Structure 1
Amino acid sequence: MTRQSARLSSGAKPTPAHKRVASGSAIATSETKRTRTTKATPTKSQHFPSNKAEEKAEPGEASSPDAEPSASDFAESEEQPQSSESEPEDDYSSDNKPKTKKISASRTATKGSTTTKTRDSVGTGNGEKTGLGPGTEVIIKKPKARPAGKTPYTDETLHPNTFLFLQDLKANNNRPWLKMNDLDFRQAEKDWYSFVEAITSRLVEIDDTVPELPVKDVIFRIYRDIRFSPDPTPYKPHFSAAWSRTGRKGPYAGYYVQVSPDDQSFIGGGLWHPDAAPTAAMRRSIDRHPERLKRVLTEPGLRKAFLKGVGKDEKKVMKAFVASNAENALKTKPKGYEADHSEIELLRLKSYTLGSRIPDAELLGPGGLDRVADLLACLKPMITFLNSVVMPDGQESDSEVHASEDEGADASDDDTED
């Protein structure tokens, strides 16, 4: 007999065993028991007996109005900004969240009452109240420049708006006002600059020693230096300029023009508060040759324009000149001169200037530039004489030339006598 193989054929597959399904009902989940929190009974101290009124008060009742509030009653709660993105939910619902009482920080608690502090109304920055509360946006329109009207702006004339601006500046001399009226200021300043250029063109024809300098070298700024001044106003209520061989500054005698409203414009020239060396040179010239200064001051045009039209009398002319410079003159004799000197009044002077007021009607209009040029031409002999005496450029002055000639003549006489 043939032996059969115990192996199963490869095509036969074993039958899978079926799992046994557990019988019975589903497993029920047990609910968790909530734990009840209880408050601990505060321990009574034997050293601090409790108040009977507090013991009788129930926990939910409000405290007496006479009781002083605690710091926790006034705790601030900051509001969190809302986000568009969804935030994860907390473990507890919104109904169970602890509620905090919002009290503004500007409220001050007092016994039995609550006082609310409010801020003052918003100001304009100029010391004035607008009557509006904080957080209110205030829009103030900036004033526009004055229109030219029927009178056009020209380079050789001063416009009436320039005088109106200076009048307003004199009445409102403060920085906030000038900032609000900056367009008027720039317009008036431009008008003044063009007028100064026209004066410069005329002056270089009158006095060839004055160079044709740019406007910035001859004008004075409108801003005042108030660091050591008792006057707190920050601006000058006028426009001014000065011309000399070195512009508005320097040791030379020069011409001066000031424009101010209400008939207060001024035109003058000379040496105002010179240094010690020019002052000594002027006193030396007056001591040795006083007739030279007197000859200049007695000229008809100068007397009529700057010395109130006094006659040709030499004493009256000198008296008028001394009176116009007496503000800073010495009270006693200067050092090195006798008190009984024949020209002691002139020797006491510390400034050598001439000036005259000019009304607004003469400055405004097409004839204003001609009027200024005529007055400056009358000052030319005085300016020329002063510069010939001072001469800080190293040249020998006129008085020193004559002094050396006198000393040479005296020396020759002595030699002759010997």
Structure 2
Amino acid sequence: MGTQFSNEALKFLRGLKKNNDREWFGERKHIYEKQLKEPMLALISEVNEAMAEFSPEHLRPANKILMRIYRDIRFSKDKRPYKHHVSAWWARDGLQKTSGGGFYLQVSSTEVLIAAGVYMPEREQLLAIRRYLVDHHLEFRKITAGKKLRSLMQETETLSLTRPPKGFAAEDPAIDLIMCRQWGLSATLPIERATSPGLLKDVVERFKVAAPLIRLLNTPLIGKPKRPMF
């Protein structure tokens, strides 16, 4: 059985949502460290062991995969300093500082979110993926139509354009995929799964079934994509 979170961890997240300020957090930081950060690092390590078999290119030390609980408020009107969840992002080796395809886990006080995909890609990456899908859309569709995948995850919001992007024909058979601005899969599980010893299995089985799609989306991003000509 894998790592799970305690009821005290969820209580902390509920409290943080109501009291998102540095004083409240500072007085309870030891709870965050013990009940949330430590278990999340342990869970990441366990997921890493399993991913070594199907996505070894996404493995890094657990502390590099764990995301900060501190919000980046530099350019935001919302100045609340903390996120209301703990999360982890498994980026592909070589794409850690970009928006390549990866795997994501988030635990809040209300749900467990497991996701995989390319989100908010950089302009060059967006173009590279679109060009790749022109010739590989059938492979993309075959993966996302898989019976097991569809039983475990759903396609996420694609943020589609209203018209074909420049350089792509409206009649292209891949145009519905080309018009997307992101591609991904997700599953939202009830919060009870966070306190269950089956949490590790929940994460791994979904990461594993999504791995072929992540591999496909990252293929055109390996190395530096060519700069757009327009």
- SS at 2:80 equivalent: coil
Pick from 128, 134, 138: which aligns with 1:281?
128
Equivalent in the alignment of 2:228: none
CA distance in 2, matches of 1:249, 1:162: 30
Pick from 199, 203, 215: which aligns with 1:372?
203
Pick from 144, 147, 157: which aligns with 1:325?
157
- SS at 2:106 equivalent: strand
- 1:361 pairs with 2:209: no
Equivalent in the alignment of 2:109: 261
- 1:217 pairs with 2:64: yes
Equivalent in the alignment of 1:161: 8
User: Which amino acid in 2 is paired with 1:380?
Assistant: A
Equivalent in the alignment of 1:200: 48
- SS at 1:206 equivalent: coil
Name whichever of 332-341 and 244-253 sits farther off: 244-253
- 1:390 pairs with 2:226: no
Instruction: Determine which structure has the larger helix proportion and give its number.
Output: 2
> Percent identity among equivalent residues?
27
- 1:298 pairs with 2:145: yes
Q: What pairs with 1:21-36 in structure 2 (closer than 5 Å)?
A: none
Q: Is the 8 A contact 1:244 1:255 kept in 2?
A: yes
How many residues are treated as equivalent by the alignment?
A: 223
CA distance in 2, matches of 1:344, 1:217: 36
Q: Is the 8 A contact 1:271 1:352 kept in 2?
A: yes
TM-superposed CA distance for 1:261, in Å, is 1.5
Name whichever of 157-166 and 336-345 sits farther off: 336-345
TM-score (norm 2): 0.87
TM-score (norm 1): 0.50
CA distance in 2, matches of 1:326, 1:255: 17
Describe the shift of the 1:286–1:155 C-alpha distance in structure 2 as closer, same or farther (beyond 3 A): closer
- Between 1 and 2, higher relative CO (CA 8 Å, sep ≥ 6) is seen in 2
- Show structure 1 runs of 5+ residues with no match: 1-153, 308-320, 395-418
User: Which amino acid in 1 is paired with 2:92?
Assistant: R
Q: Is the 8 A contact 1:242 1:248 kept in 2?
A: no
Greater Cα radius of gyration, structure 1 or 2: 1
- Show structure 2 runs of 5+ residues with no match: 226-230
Describe the shift of the 1:343–1:207 C-alpha distance in structure 2 as closer, same or farther (beyond 3 A): closer
Q: Is the 8 A contact 1:217 1:248 kept in 2?
A: no
Structure 1 segments, 4+ long, off by >4 Å, are none
Q: Is the 8 A contact 1:363 1:369 kept in 2?
A: no
User: Which amino acid in 1 is paired with 2:41?
Assistant: Y
CA distance in 1, matches of 2:39, 2:137: 43
- SS at 1:231 equivalent: coil
Equivalent in the alignment of 1:231: 78
Deviations 1:119-176 (A, max 9, x none): xxxxxxxxxxxxxxxxxxxxxxxxxxxxxxxxxxx97222222111111111111111
TM-superposed CA distance for 1:277, in Å, is 2.5
Describe the shift of the 1:164–1:205 C-alpha distance in structure 2 as closer, same or farther (beyond 3 A): farther
- SS at 2:203 equivalent: helix
Pick from 146, 156, 170: which aligns with 2:17?
170
Q: What pairs with 1:395-410 in structure 2 (closer than 5 Å)?
A: none
Pick from 141, 152, 168: which aligns with 1:337?
168
CA distance in 2, matches of 1:303, 1:393: 32
Equivalent in the alignment of 2:118: 271
